[in-house]
Amino acid sequence: MSWRPTFGTNGVRGIANEELTPEIALKLCLSLGTLCSGDIAIGRDTRVSGEMLKSAAISGLLTTGNKVIDLGITPSPAIQYYVKNNADAGVIVTASHNPKEYNGLKFVDGVGMEFSRDGEKEVEKVYDKGEFKRVKWDRTGELIIADAIPDYKKGIMKLIDVEKVRDKRFRVVVDPGNGAACGVMSSLLRELGCEVIEINAEPDGAFPGRPPEPTADVLGELMAMVKKSGADFGVAHDGDADRAVFVDERGKFVSEDVLLAMFTKSALEKKKGVIVTPVSSSSCVADVVERCSGEIAWTPVGSIHVARKMLELGAVFGGEGNGGLIFPEHQYCRDGGVAAAKMLEILCAGKTLSQLADEIPKYYHIKEKLRGEDKDGVMQKVKGIARGKVDTTDGVKLWYDDGWVLVRASGTEPIIRIFAESKSQKRAKELLQEGIELVKRASG
């Protein structure tokens, strides 16, 4: 076995049956089962390799004497909500937004949050040692099947003014992208009084409708359907439905940064407090926070950093500029279902989605990636030579009065990413160039 599973920003990921084999899934879950004891819930997205890896994972958990609750094909946030309320830990078999040949394993702790880096290190230690707990034959675990969806939906309904939303009878186009959101999001929206039109709504791990990552360039069908049907908006999810992105009533994709700022505004209008977001997020979020007299806290890139910081600070909302939105009144993880329901509530005030998006300050946000075999060494040098207002929360971010540039090493690939942003396109390009020069000087 040459491929060694390493936990990245989203658990373990690899090409199924080539890198991430059932043997590895078994060993990872023997490791988890050695560390935990109790009730462990497991669920998956629609990937073709999902059942194969889930079966191996279940075997590891039963071998170590744990009770396993199989939730079947279910959105990640519904699995996490189930764990929070009913189990001691969870395993999610998903590669989220990655292409169809990939799959992954993500571990969830007793409060429904993704494992911290420390938790993952514990699992890695047991995995590498290979000494697993093995219970006597009459102590091996029991396997039951459960449905996490009803409680997940009930939990969401509690967060919003259902009567008000139902009265509006919104028309919504849902694109679950043949992923774990299939059936769940449409029924949630129907219960909220919406007329729902679905596309790519058959669970299918070959993802025939579109790739699992809901980027603007693959959502043409959704945009066209929103326009054609006269819908109030369209919503699309990634493979495991923890992310949600939106298309406005004119059929235009709403940038995820704008989305994050819109939800930030709505959260702060309800309750003043702290908003948490990674250093890579657009300044339009910070602008909205300032306008609404809130506070902003920056974290390293990765939803787990955002979620844990939110818990620590008692934040009112947080999220990433990729459609990963975290609503703490529900749970501390990205949640595509809550995002869709909250969007309905936001629209109840009478403005259209395009009008709301237009209210958010505009920035030019550009990025570049450079190959960096020794990315960590280069980043060390970048830190040494960067001058000015330097923020090292994640990589190196240089703040200026009229913009910023962020240089950071990718968590998974031999790549250094550079992001720049300003209200002027020309200035954004200059800042990007400054970042590129910095990396070149550090590499030379």
Rounded to an integer, what distance in angstroms lies between the CA atom of residue 143 and that of residue 91?
Answer: 14
Cβ-based nearer residue to Mg ion, 141 or 179: 179
CB 22 within 8 A of CB 72: no
Tokens read off for 444? 């030379």
Rounded to an integer, what distance in angstroms lies between the CA atom of residue 253 and that of residue 354?
Answer: 10
Least distance from C-beta 98 to Mg ion, angstroms?
A: 9
The answer to the question of residue 320 lying near Mg ion (CB under 5 A) is no
282 is catalytic: no
Residue from 31, 76, 96, 266 carrying the catalytic annotation: 96
Rg of the chain, C-alpha, whole Å? 22
The answer to the question of residue 96 lying near Mg ion (CB under 5 A) is yes
Cβ-based nearer residue to Mg ion, 334 or 417: 334
Residue, CB closest to Mg ion: 96
Least distance from C-beta 183 to Mg ion, angstroms?
A: 17
Cβ-based nearer residue to Mg ion, 240 or 248: 240
Cβ-based nearer residue to Mg ion, 334 or 397: 334
Binding window for Mg ion (CB under 5 A); candidates: 11-19, 198-206, 232-240, 431-439: 232-240
Least distance from C-beta 238 to Mg ion, angstroms?
A: 4
> For residues 336-355, which are near Mg ion according to CB under 5 A?
none
Binding window for Mg ion (CB under 5 A); candidates: 15-23, 91-99, 188-196, 371-379: 91-99
CB 306 within 8 A of CB 10: no
Binding window for Mg ion (CB under 5 A); candidates: 54-62, 230-238, 256-264, 285-293: 230-238
Judging by beta carbons within 10 Å of its beta carbon (0-12, 13-18, 19+), is residue 368 exposed, middle or buried?
middle
Number of residues written out for the chain: 444
Q: How many residues bind Mg ion (CB under 5 A)?
A: 4
Least distance from C-beta 415 to Mg ion, angstroms?
A: 20
CB 409 within 8 A of CB 369: no
**Contact mark string toward Mg ion, 233..252, x via CB under 5 A:** -----x-x-x----------
> For residues 61-90, which are near Mg ion according to CB under 5 A?
none
The answer to whether the Cα torsion of 405, 407, 410, 411 is positive or negative is negative
Cβ-based nearer residue to Mg ion, 204 or 391: 204
Least distance from C-beta 47 to Mg ion, angstroms?
A: 12
Cβ-based nearer residue to Mg ion, 219 or 382: 219
Least distance from C-beta 253 to Mg ion, angstroms?
A: 18
Q: Which residues are catalytic?
A: 96
User: Which stretches of the chain bind Mg ion, using CB under 5 A?
Assistant: 96, 238, 240, 242
